Amino acid sequence: MDVWSWICELPNSVEWTESDSPPMKFELASEKKENSTRSIHLKAERTSGSDSEAAVTFTVCLQGFHPHNAHKPLWVSEKCHLSSEKPFLPLLLQLLQEIISHSPTAHDSTCPRSQLQKLNPEPIAWIMDSHTPESLSTFFNLVFTMRLFWLCACHAPPEAGSLYFHYLLAPSLQTASSKLASSVLRTFFITVGVDTELCFMRTLGYIITKLHMIKELSVGLGLKTIFPSPRFSYANETHGLWILKGYAPVMTMKLARSNNVKKSQFSGIDAKESILRYSLAHHQLEAHVQLEYTVGFFDAFIQVRARVDNIRLHVARLGFTQNDDVDDFVEEKHFPSRVRVWVGPEIGATYCAGLSLGRSTENKESEVETKRVVEGNLEKSQGSNVKALAKSSRRTRSRSWRMDQDAEGNAAIFDVVLHDNTTGQEMGSWRPISETGGDPGHGLRGRYARANRAFNKSGSVVIAGDEYGEEVGWRLCKEMEGSVMKWRIGGEFWVSYLPNQAKGSSFETRYMEWCDEVDLPLIHGKTT
């Protein structure tokens, strides 16, 4: 589906010279059913603007679906004036704005959609100018497919929704999850700001979740297209920081450990358990890794240092509002259980040596306090009565998160692992009951309300530089001065679930990995 190329060719079409010419039609998806054909198509109709200039209006229409009226469009665009410098900029802006306004709310969101301002057209116009037609086409097709979701899933016959999920959504996600569209998405997120980014990615995460649920339930769709789990992440360098962001619907993350042996997590269970699992399916991991770096110039070498500024892990619960059917399970959610971040030069780089780590392997000490008390009673008698009492106490300090550093080649690794502070068990590698027995994470029940909880009230985790502040360093050849190097940054992220307030023993751990590149400018005055 290459909608954008078709749209861009419309003004040059010889069949479109008159304003009263019939609408042009682009078939988005179709299937033959018995003796009829069902289709979803996009129409472009040439009209006249207020000053009689040529304009075009787009509509999304259905055909062959009963009892839907084929003459009633599902969606109508605003007019796009063909004489303007960027005639289809208003179309892209409208699609993006409507995606943001229809985005699902996170239960604990502090930024309602109503508070978001309209998108500024200038950054979007710059994106259209600065990217290749191929990458821009992939981005537009993804945006258009996302906008179609609410139309086909909520305002169309069920058969139209089936056609959308089968022939439109899965192929579009497969293409968009590749590196082809990542550069446009990265530029889009940086230019529009983090609030719009969250709305966009939560909408996309919600759509991907629905697709995976339908594939698992196998509700007669026969989805044959199996696309890899979308890996939507990006990294950039700004103001002396390397930043890596990633978004992953929990259902798309690789299952590492689980005690659910059923083929489908929604089949063969009672209604209450089904509602719980439905709620858990609508979780999305939102990871933000922020490393601070500095560059020092010396007579014989260049020194690069990096330290953790912020690692923020949030599991958003999408699509629900308060007082809904699953509100009883608002405290039941996946939680981050481990993060492993690495940063360093490109693989095979020979200009870098002497990686130095800043955190020693912890050799934990325990503090022992011994107290002796002697009590005596001397009486005027032939014998004396003396009593002795000895007391001892042991004081230990336990932490829910253990932080380590490691190295692999020239890459420095920052490792943060969650432990059950009652049993000492590492949660990311805990084995299900069927293998080891015992209660999973006994010390993590009631994990969002206790005074010594390992998470904040919303279930998020923040690892800041004041707690994980030891820096690492590399020494580079002096000859590299004046260049801009590519530095790789990536991470492995684990989320787990075990009951918090609910009864039961369900347990699972899921895993996702992201990797990207950032700039390292070795230029005097650029960094200090």
151 versus 382: which is more confidently predicted?
151
Q: Quote the pLDDT of residue 175.
A: 76
pLDDT mean over 295-320: 91
Encoded tokens for 262: 């059923």
pLDDT mean over 223-237: 70
- Using alpha carbons only, give the angle 484, 489, 492 rounded to the nearest 5 degrees: 175
Q: Quote the pLDDT of residue 4.
A: 92
Q: How confident is the model at residue 323 (pLDDT cuts 50, 70, 90)?
A: very low
Q: Quote the pLDDT of residue 115.
A: 55
104 versus 344: which is more confidently predicted?
344
In the block, tokens 């007082």 appear at 323
Separation CA 46–CA 235 (nearest Å)? 42
pLDDT in tens, 444-459: 777 877 777 778 878 8
Mapping DSSP onto H, E and C, the string for 94-153 reads HHHHHHHHCCCCECCCCCCHHHCCCCCHHHHHHHHHHCCHHHHHHHHHHHHHHHHHHHHH
Alpha helix positions (H), 335-474: 433-436
pLDDT mean over 251-263: 78
Asked whether the predicted pLDDT for residue 425 surpasses 70, the reply is: yes
Q: Quote the pLDDT of residue 262.
A: 54
Q: Which DSSP letter does residue 252 get?
A: G
Q: Quote the pLDDT of residue 520.
A: 93
Q: Which DSSP letter does residue 426 get?
A: B
- For 103, residues 6+ apart whose C-beta sits below 8 A from its C-beta are 113, 199, 200, 202, 203, 206
Separation CA 85–CA 83 (nearest Å)? 7
Q: Quote the pLDDT of residue 19.
A: 59
State which of 79-88, 103-112, 262-271 shows the largest mean pLDDT.
79-88
94 versus 108: which is more confidently predicted?
94
CB-count burial class (<10 Å; 0-12, 13-18, 19+) for 218: exposed
pLDDT in tens, 175-219: 777 655 567 888 899 999 898 999 999 999 999 998 888 877 765
Q: How confident is the model at residue 519 (pLDDT cuts 50, 70, 90)?
A: very high
**What is the sign of the dihedral through the CA atoms of 459, 462, 467 and 471?**
positive
Q: How confident is the model at residue 259 (pLDDT cuts 50, 70, 90)?
A: confident
CB-count burial class (<10 Å; 0-12, 13-18, 19+) for 145: buried
514 versus 49: which is more confidently predicted?
514
443 versus 461: which is more confidently predicted?
461
Q: Quote the pLDDT of residue 249.
A: 93
* Residue 122: count of CB within 10 angstroms of its CB: 10
428 versus 299: which is more confidently predicted?
299
Separation CA 330–CA 239 (nearest Å)? 38
CB 475 within 8 A of CB 303: yes
Please list, residue by residue across 454-482, b when 16 or more beta carbons sit within 10 angstroms of its beta carbon and e when fewer do.
bbeebbbbebebeebeebbbbbbeeebee
CB 211 within 8 A of CB 170: yes
Query: What's the pTM value of the predicted model, to 2 decimals?
Result: 0.86
Asked whether the predicted pLDDT for residue 502 surpasses 60, the reply is: yes
Q: Quote the pLDDT of residue 236.
A: 92
Separation CA 135–CA 131 (nearest Å)? 7
Q: Which DSSP letter does residue 16 get?
A: G
Amino acid letter for position 457: K
Name the average pLDDT for the chain. 81
166 versus 491: which is more confidently predicted?
491
pLDDT mean over 219-246: 75
Q: How confident is the model at residue 398 (pLDDT cuts 50, 70, 90)?
A: low
State which of 10-19, 50-59, 107-116 shows the largest mean pLDDT.
50-59
**Three-class SS state of 187:** helix
CB 286 within 8 A of CB 315: yes
- For 157, residues 6+ apart whose C-beta sits below 8 A from its C-beta are 62, 65, 66, 67, 68
Encoded tokens for 371: 């107290």
Lowest-pLDDT range, 279-283, 416-420, 523-527? 523-527
Asked whether the predicted pLDDT for residue 265 surpasses 70, the reply is: no
**Residue 180, φ and ψ in degrees, nearest 5:** -60, -40
Q: How confident is the model at residue 396 (pLDDT cuts 50, 70, 90)?
A: low
Q: Quote the pLDDT of residue 435.
A: 47
Asked whether the predicted pLDDT for residue 220 surpasses 50, the reply is: no
Q: Quote the pLDDT of residue 95.
A: 96
Q: Quote the pLDDT of residue 379.
A: 58
21 versus 144: which is more confidently predicted?
144
Separation CA 273–CA 263 (nearest Å)? 15
* β-bridge partners, 510: 255, 495
33 versus 370: which is more confidently predicted?
33
Peptide bond into 67 cis (omega under 30): yes
pLDDT mean over 484-497: 94
Q: Quote the pLDDT of residue 227.
A: 53
pLDDT mean over 222-229: 53
> Measured in whole angstroms, how far is the alpha carbon of residue 502 from the centre of its chain?
26
Separation CA 331–CA 318 (nearest Å)? 14
Separation CA 275–CA 265 (nearest Å)? 11
Separation CA 41–CA 18 (nearest Å)? 22
pLDDT mean over 299-314: 94
Q: How confident is the model at residue 386 (pLDDT cuts 50, 70, 90)?
A: low
Separation CA 303–CA 476 (nearest Å)? 6
Encoded tokens for 231: 């890996």
CB 509 within 8 A of CB 496: yes
Q: Quote the pLDDT of residue 61.
A: 92
Q: Which DSSP letter does residue 164 get?
A: I
**Three-class SS state of 340:** strand
Q: Quote the pLDDT of residue 410.
A: 92
Q: Quote the pLDDT of residue 370.
A: 63
Cα end-to-end distance, the chain, whole Å? 48
